Amino acid sequence: MSSKVFHVVGGGPGGVGAAYAAGKLGVKPIIYEAHGALAVKPCGRGVPLVGDLPFRVPGSVVLNRIRFIKLGVDGRWVFKAGGLIDGVIVDKGGFLEHVIAEAGGEVFYRARYDVRRGLVRVGGEVLEVKGLGVFAGGFPYYEGVKAPVVQYVVGNARDVEEDTIEVMLDTRLLGYYYVFPQGDSFEVGVGGFASFNELQALLDKYMEKDPRLSGAKRVVREGAMISVGGLRLGYVNGLVKVGEAAGYVLPLTGEGIRPSALSGYTAAKALIEGSDPIRALERAPISRAVRVQSSILDWVKTLSLEDRRYILSNITPEAHAEVALGTLRLYRLIRGLKIKPSIALRIMAIVLRG
């Protein structure tokens, strides 16, 4: 390890992806984290394993293995399918700590970076953050469109499967209700284009109507925003923006752990190797996935509720998975878009442009 250090503001997936690249390339990562612990922000903690993560997910942090997805549209279940996603629900804090340890990184907790002045307080000392590094402070620093999410951690839901994630799409909200298993408990939430209060009322109603969830014990209620407006690349005081701060969330699904980690990894690798990090980010496959989903979301916003429902209910489970995961393999998409040719062509055009 050289005596050089790599600065990372924020100990979420974006910062940790960068720390991992730095550590593997022989530069010690120093992480400045505002909170006293990692992964404080609410999160469903679902990570699909599509083979693109730069680091391993160790078995010790896996709370649930996900083999099935159950998907519905506007209150009606459309399919339950296996073999489309292989995913995990993780102990997010434990996972991030594991990756930092593998990278030989050091975390300073309760070390809030002052964006206006470019300074951070570590213990009693105020330091200027200068040199190679990334800014991964998350959604509060994102300058595009954000959508709220509210969720309950539910203690004792009956008959909810531990290897399945449930997603009920809502064409009006342009969002979805979800039930994610999480060890002994479940997270039940909703995200979309509405206010926090509206989402809260809708979630309560959704849970009341489901006999499995209506009597369940609600342990925690939490909420946060998700950056769904596409990429906003750039710098904060010379640090490259990565993760949600730069829009690394798949806008149709809200998946941000994998995109954020990939963006951090890509930017840090480019910086340390002496190439242009913004160019490297623009060219990364995960950026294409965000761009494509962003364009699909913009297009879907222009459609009637009937057209939205028709598309979401009629494309095959395989096509849902290709778009949702951002893998976008054309041969699988073409086979899966068994809908009116004009609509299928529109989707293909967006994917090809991405």
- Contact residues for ligand FAD, defined by CB under 6 A: 9-15, 32-35, 40-47, 112-113, 136-139, 149, 151, 189, 224, 226, 243-245, 249, 254-258, 260
Residue 41 or 329: the one with the smaller Cβ distance to ligand FAD is: 41
CA dihedral 16, 21, 23, 24 (to 10 degrees): 140
Structure tokens belonging to residue 207 = 């849970």
The minimum distance between CB 129 and ligand FAD, in angstroms, equals 10
Torsion sign, CA atoms 81, 290, 187, 74: negative
**What's the closest the beta carbon of residue 23 comes to ligand FAD, in angstroms?**
17
Least distance between ligand FAD and beta carbon 304 (Å) = 29
The nearest distance, CB 352 to ligand FAD, in angstroms, is 26
What is d(CA 18, CA 6) in angstroms, rounded to the nearest whole number?
Answer: 9
Q: Among candidates 182, 183, 174, which has minimal Cα distance to 149? A: 174
User: Of the two residues 46 and 133, which places its CB atom closer to ligand FAD in the complex?
Assistant: 46
140: amino acid identity, one letter: P
Q: Are 18 and 223 contacting, i.e. CB atoms less than 8 angstroms apart? A: no
Q: What SS3 class is residue 168? A: strand
CB-nearer residue toward ligand FAD: 24 or 45: 45
Residue (32 or 311) nearer to ligand FAD, CB = 32
Residue 282 or residue 307: which is nearer to ligand FAD going by CB?
Answer: 282
Can you tell me the distance from the alpha carbon of 309 to that of 312, in angstroms, rounded to the nearest whole number? 5
Q: How far is the CB of 1 from ligand FAD (least distance, A)?
A: 23
Which C-beta is closer to ligand FAD: that of 175 or that of 347?
175
Q: Alpha-carbon torsion 108, 111, 112, 115, what sign?
A: negative
Number of residue whose CB is nearest ligand FAD: 256
Q: How far is the CB of 40 from ligand FAD (least distance, A)?
A: 6
Minimum CB separation of residue 272 from ligand FAD in Å reads 19
Nearer to ligand FAD, 16 or 350 (CB): 16
Minimum Å gap between C-beta 340 and ligand FAD is 32
Residue with tokens 């839901």: 157
Amino acid at position 117, single letter: R
Taking Cα atoms as reference points, which of 174, 185, 176 lies closest to residue 299?
Answer: 174
CA angle, corner 309, sides to 85 and 79, nearest 5?
Answer: 35
Residue by residue, DSSP assigns 194-230 as: S-HHHHHHHHHHHHHH-HHHHTS-EEEEEEEEEE-S-
Q: Which of 55, 61, 39, 137 is nearest to 99 (CA)?
A: 55
Could you tell me the two tokens for 193? 């284009």
Q: Name which of 17 and 317 has its Cβ closer to ligand FAD.
A: 17
> Taking a C-beta distance cutoff of 8 angstroms, is the pair 251, 297 a contact?
yes
Tell me how far, at minimum, the Cβ of 156 lies from ligand FAD, in Å. Answer: 21
